[in-house]
Each structure stands twice: as C-alpha cells, then as structure tokens.
Amino acid sequence: MEGRHPARFINCYVDTQSCNLRCGYCYIGQRKAFDGTLFRCRYPLETMREATLAERLGGVCIFNLCAGGETLLSPDILPVIRMLLENGHNVSVVTNGTATAAFERLLELPEELLSFLYIKFSFHFLEFEKRGLTGCFFANVHRMQERGISFSIDITPCDELIPFIPKIKEMFWREMDGALPHISVARDTSSRELRLLSRLSKEEYREVWSVFDSAKFDYKIQEFLHPHREYCRAGNLSFSLDLAGGNCRICDGAPEPSKMDFYNLYERPQEAVPFVEIGHGCPTAHCYNCHALLTLGTIPELETPSYTQMLDRVERSGRHWLSERVREFYSHRLMPAKGA
C-alpha cells in the first residue's frame, strides 16, 4: 500500500545506552549515562508487528531508529528492522558505521526489503582516527552502497574538528567520489535553552561549517533558536515511540518530555490510535529535529526544503546516495490516509 506520500514520521528511541566510541559531543556522553544497556523488546515481535501495521498507522510510515548509544549494537534490533520493512514501512537507521557484523546480517535481507532501508552513517572522525576505525567505516558504507541501499553520511560539528576540515574534505573526495558529508548542528543538552555546543558565535559557526555546502546544515543553522508558534501537527503526523515498550510521545523537544506521553502503541494493537496534535503549543526554543519534522510538513504552512534535500548527495559519476525510490518518497510531505 505504498503511496506517493509517507503517512507518518515515527521517531523511534532504541533503548541502548552503550557504545564502542566516546565522542565529546555525544548527548548521552554529556550526561555521563553510558550504562551498558542494550535494547531488548518488551513485547513479542508478533504484537509489535500487529501494532505497526500500515493500515493502523494510516499508510507507509518512516520509522527512524536512533539509540542513546550505537543503534546496531543490540542483536534484538535486527528482527525489528526486518519486521517493520516487512510491514511495508521505510526504515531509517542511525549508526556510527562500525558494527560490521550487523551490516552483514542486514545484507542477508531480501532485495525488496533492502530497497526501502536507509542508513544514516555518522562520521566521527576524531574517534575513528584514535581507534583505527576509519577504514572499517568506509568499508561498511561501500558495502551498503554496492547493494544499492540508500544512505547518507553526516558529521556532528565540534570545535576540535575544525583543524581537520581540509583533511576530511580530501578523504571524502577520495572515498566518496567527491561527495561531501552533510553537517548537523550540535546542541549543548545541558543548557535548557539549547545553546550551540561550541565556543564560536552562531555567525562564526555558520562560516566555518558552511564549507561543506550541506543543505542540511544551512537549514538547521537557519532554524537554530527560531521558535515556532504556528500550528504544528506533531502527535499526529509525527510522534516519538519508545521502540521497546511502545510508549508514544507527542514530540521529544519538550524540556519535560514525560508530559508529552499520549498512548501505548503495543498494549491494544487492534485499537485505533488516538492521535493528538500539539497545535500552537510547541514547547521548545526551536524545532529540535527540523531537518526531518519541518521538511516533512509537521507545520503545514511553512515553506521548507524537502527531506530528500537534507540527505541526498550526488557523486562525480552522477550516482546518488539515495535510491530513486527513496528520493521520491522523501520528497513528499506526510499525509496519512483519511480516518487513520
């Protein structure tokens, strides 16, 4: 039942607080909360399958899987990725690209399922160089790319990385046939008002990191500390899901996120989901995930670039990082089926 439009964006928290790296800008690391937890499903896979049927969720959704640590470290995550793809959804997996055994298991999936998978590789240069993992990272990227799996590569900026920008650009010229990584914006999660995680001013930060010519960076920095009071459909077009336990939250941006809980997706999987809408009540200093939530249309009246533009790159040979199918799907705004 794949339509032109993704129905909903479901931001899944994968409860893994364990990682093989220790990046200085890590949100979990900032709170010193790596406790070795690995993601374990708390409901049978068949209950999760029934609860996430496309018919129940208003069509084919984007399930974005991101952990507190490294998403692919937990063996339990792989059957869930497969189940969501079998339910017809698009699955995106955020990873540091070093869990080689997990990539090998993913590559065993049928072609049809792989064609709707998207991998967001985070390039943690300083940690890779320190631990001798740069070669492993690019080998895994190329392994997925050769199978035609959609992907993008992203850098979280930090001040310590600035002297290495020319080296990183040269590395991508060689390894990725001239396509540069996308750039994110790092926030200081210990500050309530979400400051930039940098000693630079916003203008200096923009100047330094814009050399990567990343549409994602341009949009994120433009939106940084830009509050939105327009009508937002978060809680309906998008919501956050605790993947293990089924708890649904309107939006993760709130300073006190538990006040945003509205439903458990797995408890009564035959029931219609009582979606809500946050409306004019966005509680944050800026849209915390604007490159996905706003570009996919959670605030319908905003004019934005497309989600495809936030992720895709074209190599010198003309090869895109996103497949044609995923490019097309991500270029439309969220639109659930009527009545769902």
Q: How far is the CB of 46 from ligand SF4 (least distance, A)?
A: 30
Among 7, 10, 12, 28, binds ligand SF4 (CB under 6 A): 28
DSSP state of 180: P
| Number of residues assigned to the chain | 340
Binding mask of the shown chain, residues 214 to 243, with x at each position contacting ligand SF4 by CB under 6 A: --------------x---x-x---------
63 and 88 Cβ atoms separated by less than 8 Å: no
Bridge partners of 249, per DSSP, are 240, 261
The burial of 316, by beta-carbon neighbours within 10 Å (0-12 exposed, 13-18 middle, 19 or more buried), is given as exposed
257 and 211 Cβ atoms separated by less than 8 Å: no
- What is the crossing angle of helices 202-209 and 215-223, to 10°? 170
In the complex with ligand SF4, the residue whose CB is nearer, 113 or 225, is: 225
Q: How far is the CB of 273 from ligand SF4 (least distance, A)?
A: 18
Q: Does 155 bind ligand SF4 (CB under 6 A)?
A: no
Q: Does 23 bind ligand SF4 (CB under 6 A)?
A: yes
- Other CB atoms within 10 Å distance of the CB of residue 115: 18
Helix, strand, coil percentages for the chain (3-state, nearest 5): 35, 15, 50
Q: Does 292 bind ligand SF4 (CB under 6 A)?
A: no
DSSP state of 336: P
Binding mask of the shown chain, residues 301 to 340, with x at each position contacting ligand SF4 by CB under 6 A: ----------------------------------------
DSSP state of 321: S
The one segment of 44-52, 57-65, 218-226, 287-295 that binds ligand SF4 by CB under 6 A:
287-295
In the complex with ligand SF4, the residue whose CB is nearer, 72 or 85, is: 72
Among 2, 3, 5, 22, binds ligand SF4 (CB under 6 A): 22
In the complex with ligand SF4, the residue whose CB is nearer, 4 or 280, is: 280
The conformational region for residue 179 under phi > 0 = left, psi -120 to 50 = alpha, else beta, is: beta
67 φ, ψ to 5°? -105, 170
The one segment of 19-27, 103-111, 159-167, 305-313 that binds ligand SF4 by CB under 6 A:
19-27
In the complex with ligand SF4, the residue whose CB is nearer, 70 or 242, is: 70
How far from the centroid of its chain's Cα atoms is residue 215's Cα?
16
In the complex, which residues of this chain contact ligand SF4 (CB under 6 A)?
A: 19, 21-23, 26, 28-29, 69-70, 96, 122, 124, 228, 232, 234, 251, 253, 278, 282, 284, 287-288, 293, 298-299
